[in-house]
Amino acid sequence: MTQDIPHQRPGRLAGRIAVIGGAGSVGPGWGNGRATAVIFAREGATVFLADRDKESLEVTARHVREEGGTAHTAVLDVTEPSAVQGFFAECEERAGRVDILVNNVGGSRAGGAVDLSLEDWDSQLRTNLTSAFLACKHAIPVMRRGGGGAIVNTASASGLRWTGAAQVGYASAKAAVIQLSRVTAVEYAPDNIRVNTVVPGQLHTPMVEARLAGQRAGGDVAKLLAQRQARIPLGFMGDGRDTAYAALFLASDEARFVTGTEIVVDGGMTARCD
């Protein structure tokens, strides 16, 4: 954790119960899930954190608690239906309701339509799309019983356009996450449940060092960072905090009239023609 998260207006989520899937991080620094957990807790939410990596999850929870926040953790695979169902049942039992859900689980695998194996295709859909579907499936009934809520799904700029590498499974799944959000938003608007999507671009998250550099640049982190930054009109890369602040807005009452749409957090990358 090399940089602090700057304080914004406190209390925007005061008293809320927020569930964050994928709340760990593959390495030190501000991954999307870890940043979201810390920022939401700082804004007054009690956070229920899920991740399959126990050690990483506990690091996130420790950061929340060090700031005086309340964090509950659950180690689980969010692509397993029974595990997800049990997790939301436990959240409702312990907290009485779920006000906010952030689906942040994801991961890419290189390969186009010819090169990507069917096994990897299925895995990409399960990780990036089914995880969000299952969480929505089991969170929405709890939200309805509580009078409403806000769901924020995390997609990717890869679901909007080519971003420099063939990753057809990931791109297809993240495009589907956007439509999952739109359809779900319309269906459950009468229940006072808002559903939106954050669409991060090429951020400098721990994933770059831990995984992407090896996949895309032969392990050369500096080379990959230069390639990614060259695509961004603003001239610098954001990180998980930028994703988290967009999610914060969408989860807060400030977005009370916002549903079925997306916030693209990419420094202008997807607006370029080249």
Q: Any catalytic annotation for residue 188? A: no
Residue with the two structure tokens 């988290």: 244
Beta strands across the sheet bearing 17-21: 71-75, 46-51, 17-21, 100-103, 149-154, 193-200, 262-265
Query: Of the candidates 10, 20, 37, which has an alpha carbon nearest to the alpha carbon of residue 240?
Result: 37
Strand partners, 47: 18, 71
Catalytic residue among 40, 48, 121, 170: 170
Identify each DSSP E strand in the chain by its residue range.
17-21, 46-51, 71-75, 100-103, 149-154, 193-200, 262-265
Closest by alpha carbon to 146, among 106, 206, 97? 97
With vertex at residue 205, the alpha carbon angle to CA 60 and CA 50, rounded to the nearest 5 degrees, is 35
Label residue 123 left, alpha or beta by phi (over 0 means left) and psi (-120 to 50 means alpha): alpha
**Can you tell me the distance from the alpha carbon of 102 to that of 152, in angstroms, rounded to the nearest whole number?**
5
Q: Are the beta carbons of 200 and 32 closer than 8 angstroms?
A: yes
Spatial contact of 197 and 258, defined as CB atoms under 8 Å apart? no
Sign of CA dihedral 152, 110, 240, 202: negative
CA distance 181 to 250: 13
Which tokens is 42 given?
A: 């700082």
Active site (catalytic) residues = 170
